[in-house]
């Protein structure tokens, strides 16, 4: 008995799926996972997990894992040794840089990989290759939230913790479906609502699970959130309910902002948004009556042409009502991937060094130049969206991407695939032969989180360590090791032996991580950045000052952009989002047996009214057409959606059902985040039932 027990290993890890950041112990024997056991010590989730964290790990031992480097030979890929593959990568990157200049290459980082891996990747792009053309998938999701918060309060992260959300008197959820996308966080809201009298308002096109429980479910017309939020803010100001003391002491731009609200009357808002005047007044009253308010939002807000403006309007509302800088208040953009916060924090963004210091700031750049011993490019680089366009324009000729299924998750993927085909050289590093890898010249086999060490940062800015459960499968390697091997072949002479060496370097350079170290993060310990040199962390932001030179926040006037509409022919609005059981493109969850058994496929949600009009039933097969492409998918008739609204989960590994064959290349004006949520389509019925 005891011998058997001694062969069982228990290892702490952090979930590889959503941004909630649950941690738990993996019980393993050999390469087998015996169970996933959450522990009370886990700072975010205690003893809770969701179905993905509990059952979504089979992919680690999947037969489809990449175990050897692959090199393209014509239409085929052949296995190669690491030396062959790395030599080929280094030779091509070097040659292209020499011939076309450093800015002819683009670098796409991974929000599934660790902080340390993202740090070395941006260092590789900047210091070794000489360009700021480096970005991560926050461009597809929360960049507009970051931009809206940077403008108003100075930090692009959650204002407090999940505990603060649970402690608020009123939670407002806008354009998000936490019960499926952030399940353990949603349970905290459900509990507070049910047991502690928390009030809940949900604004979403779909009647999702939280909307069903809410005190008020607002159903705005697609793309009109900015209008109702600003109208509610105006009503609060007009009634004299603004927090005047807070505005006087802590906020700039008040008069100009209040003047700019003139256009957001209740009558106009009712017209544009379809939300009744009574409901708008009820929202304002609930905010007024609540001591502490938290507003949560996600892709339903950000993936629009006006995503940054709407995010700004949310932050404005919180400022006007004094809901910042105290526990149980503030702005909470809900981060999608487990480490999308960390990937951005650690500098895989075209305009920012780690810790959100601008690449254009001479002083900051000098600090990095001294540490890295090279001169660095001053101009911000291209983001994901601009990289795709620059490939089409012939300006970018090579790309290095790791841990990102860009060929399925970017918008308008037919256009993206056409760009991939134009590349002279494309390196893809992943744990699977992804859709994107099919376009590569070299595919490098990486190791997932259970096969390496590192840290992830969750939506609360909480940095947590994960430990190695298994050795990397076959010849695969941790991403940071691969990046280092390539860097050193290009003359970098890096010498990281362990991810902690990388964290030590990053915390020595980026002031917000000053006191972050592996020692302080040992076991179940965690730190919420900013962390000062003494190791003091910051669960609640802005208690003394906002992150601007004068310490004061800024109210920023906003304008509404009507959503994109491809024309009358496309008569149905198509929304998209996540399923509880699957994650993102599904490269990991569809390889987990239990999960795929339960949900083998995504389906199209159709309202009862539309189903009746078109004579279709559950299981009908339909084709959706947009100006950009088509998908073929089966129907689920449901009352989650109303009228002419459709909903297609984004979680599909099959290109035939991938919603991004339909989405366009239009995007948020400030951040270039695609307008995934602004799509009209037409529907052909192929089989009515």
How many CB atoms within 10 Å of residue 578?
20
From the centroid of its chain, how far is CA 526?
Answer: 21
Nearest-approach distance from CB 392 to ligand SF4, in angstroms: 35
Separation CA 511–CA 381 (nearest Å): 23
* Contact in structure between 521 and 455 (CB atoms under 8 Å): yes
Closest CB to ligand SF4 among residues 45, 118: 45
Question: Rounded to 5, what percent of the chain is helix, strand, coil?
Answer: 35, 20, 45
Q: How many CB atoms lie within 10 A of CB 687?
A: 12
Read off the DSSP letter of residue 602: -
Select from 466, 460, 465, 464 the least CA-distant residue to 538: 460
What residue ranges bind ligand SF4 (CB under 6 A)? 15, 17-18, 20-22, 45, 49-50, 52-53, 183-184
Cβ at position 439, least distance to ligand SF4 in Å: 29
- Phi and psi at residue 591, to the nearest 5°: -100, 10
Closest residue to ligand SF4, judged by C-beta, is: 53
- CB nearer to ligand SF4: pick between 161 and 260: 161
**435 and 97 in contact (C-beta within 8 Å)?**
no
Please, which residue, 250 or 582, has the CB nearer to ligand SF4? 582
Q: Give min distance, CB of 348 to ligand SF4, in A.
A: 21
**CB of 161 or CB of 292, closer to ligand SF4:** 161
**44 or 305, CB closer to ligand SF4?**
44
CB of 202 to ligand SF4, least distance (A): 18
* Shortest spacing between CB 49 and ligand SF4, in angstroms: 4
The DSSP code for 326 is S
Identity of the residue, 218 or 579, whose beta carbon is nearer to ligand SF4 in the bound complex: 579
The beta strands (E) that lie in 163-270 are given as 170-174, 199-203, 216-218, 251-252
- CA 57 to chain CA centroid, Å, is 21
Measured from the CB atom, is 20 or 287 closer to ligand SF4? 20
- Per the listing, tokens 């000489």 go with 130
Distance of CA 475 to CAs 8, 81, 156, Å? 24, 9, 38
Least distance CB 18 / ligand SF4 (angstroms): 3
Pairing of strands 526-528, 462-466: antiparallel
Between 21 and 300, CB nearer to ligand SF4: 21
Please, are residues 674 and 666 in contact by the beta-carbon 8 Å criterion? yes
Yes or no: say if 308 and 671 are a contact pair by the CB < 8 Å rule: yes
- Residue 334 or 364: which CB sits closer to ligand SF4? 334
Residues listed for the chain: 689
Q: How far is the CB of 257 from ligand SF4 (least distance, A)?
A: 36
Report in angstroms how near the CB of residue 156 gets to ligand SF4 at its nearest.
21
Q: Closest CB to ligand SF4 among 524 and 548?
A: 524
Q: How far is the CB of 627 from ligand SF4 (least distance, A)?
A: 34
Answer yes or no: are the C-beta atoms of 607 and 645 closer than 8 Å.
yes
498 versus 598: smaller Cβ distance to ligand SF4: 598
Q: How far apart are the C-alpha atoms of 591 and 443, rounded to whole Å?
A: 20
Question: Closest distance between ligand SF4 and the C-beta of residue 613, in Å?
Answer: 37
Q: What does 64-79 look like in DSSP terms, one character per residue?
A: TB--S-EEEETTEEEE
Residues 6+ apart with CB under 8 A from 596: 589, 590
Minimum distance from CB of 454 to ligand SF4 (Å)? Answer: 16
């Amino acid at each position: 008995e005891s011998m058997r027990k001694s062969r069982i290993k228990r290892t702490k890890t952090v979930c590889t799926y959503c941004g909630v950041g649950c941690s738990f112990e993996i019980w393993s024997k050999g390469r087998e996972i015996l169970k996933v056991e959450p522990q009370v010590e886990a700072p975010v989730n205690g003893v809770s997990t969701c179905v993905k964290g509990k059952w979504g790990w089979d992919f680690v031992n999947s037969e489809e894992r990449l175990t050897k480097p692959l090199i393209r030979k014509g239409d085929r890929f052949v296995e190669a040794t690491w030396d062959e593959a790395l030599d080929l990568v280094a030779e091509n990157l070097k040659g292209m840089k020499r011939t076309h200049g450093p800015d002819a290459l683009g670098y796409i980082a991974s929000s599934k990989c660790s902080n340390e891996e993202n740090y070395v990747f941006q260092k590789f792009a900047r210091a070794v290759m000489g360009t700021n053309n480096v970005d991560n998938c926050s461009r597809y999701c929360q960049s507009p939230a970051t931009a809206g918060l940077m403008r108003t309060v100075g930090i692009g992260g959650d204002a407090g913790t999940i505990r603060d959300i649970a402690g608020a008197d009123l939670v407002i959820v806008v354009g998000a479906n936490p019960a499926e996308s952030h399940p353990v966080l949603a349970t905290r809201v459900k509990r507070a609502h049910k047991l502690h009298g928390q009030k809940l308002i949900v604004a979403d096109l779909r009647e999702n699970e939280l909307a069903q429980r809410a005190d008020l479910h607002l159903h705005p017309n697609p793309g009109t959130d900015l209008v109702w939020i600003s109208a509610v803010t105006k009503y609060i100001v007009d009634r004299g309910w603004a927090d005047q003391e807070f505005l006087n002491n802590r906020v700039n731009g008040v008069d100009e902002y209040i003047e700019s609200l003139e256009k957001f009357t209740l009558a106009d808002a009712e017209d544009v948004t379809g939300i009744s005047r009574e409901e708008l007044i009820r929202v304002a009253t609930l905010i007024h009556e609540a001591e502490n308010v938290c507003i949560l939002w996600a892709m339903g807000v950000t993936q629009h042409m006006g995503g940054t403006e709407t995010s700004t309007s949310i932050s404005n509302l919180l400022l006007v009502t004094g809901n910042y800088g105290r526990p149980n208040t503030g702005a909470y953009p809900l981060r999608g991937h487990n480490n999308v916060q960390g990937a951005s924090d650690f500098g895989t963004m075209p305009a920012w060094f780690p810790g959100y210091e601008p690449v254009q700031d001479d002083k900051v750049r000098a600090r990095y130049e001294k540490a890295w011993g090279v001169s660095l490019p001053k101009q911000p680089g291209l983001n994901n969206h601009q990289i795709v366009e620059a490939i089409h324009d012939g300006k970018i000729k090579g790309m290095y991407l790791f841990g990102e299924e860009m060929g399925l998750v970017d918008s308008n993927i037919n256009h993206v695939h056409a760009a991939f085909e134009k590349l002279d050289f494309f390196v893809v590093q992943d744990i699977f032969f992804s859709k994107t890898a099919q376009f590569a010249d070299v595919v490098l086999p990486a190791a997932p989180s259970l096969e390496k060490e590192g840290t992830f940062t969750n939506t609360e800015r909480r940095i947590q360590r994960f430990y190695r459960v298994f050795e990397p499968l076959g010849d695969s390697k941790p991403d940071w090791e691969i990046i280092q091997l390539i860097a050193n072949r290009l003359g970098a002479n890096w010498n990281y032996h362990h991810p902690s060496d990388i964290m030590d370097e990053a915390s020595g350079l980026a002031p917000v991580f000053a006191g972050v170290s592996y020692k302080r993060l040992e076991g179940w310990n965690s730190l919420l950045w900013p962390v000062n040199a003494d190791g003091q962390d910051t669960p609640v932001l802005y208690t003394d000052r906002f992150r601007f030179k004068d310490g004061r926040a800024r109210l920023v006037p906003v304008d509404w952009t009507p959503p994109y509409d491809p024309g009358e022919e496309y008569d149905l609005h198509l929304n998209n989002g996540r399923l509880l059981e699957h994650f993102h493109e599904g490269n990991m969850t569809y390889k987990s047996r239990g999960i795929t058994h339960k949900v083998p496929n995504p389906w199209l949600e159709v309202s009862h009214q539309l189903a009746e009009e078109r004579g279709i039933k559950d299981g009908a097969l339909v084709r959706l057409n947009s100006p950009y492409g088509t998908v073929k998918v089966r129907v689920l008739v449901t009352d989650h959606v109303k009228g002419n609204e459709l909903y297609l989960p984004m979680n599909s590994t099959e290109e035939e059902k991938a919603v991004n064959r339909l989405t366009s290349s239009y995007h948020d004006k400030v951040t270039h985040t695609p307008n995934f949520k602004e799509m009209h389509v037409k529907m052909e019925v192929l089989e009515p039932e």
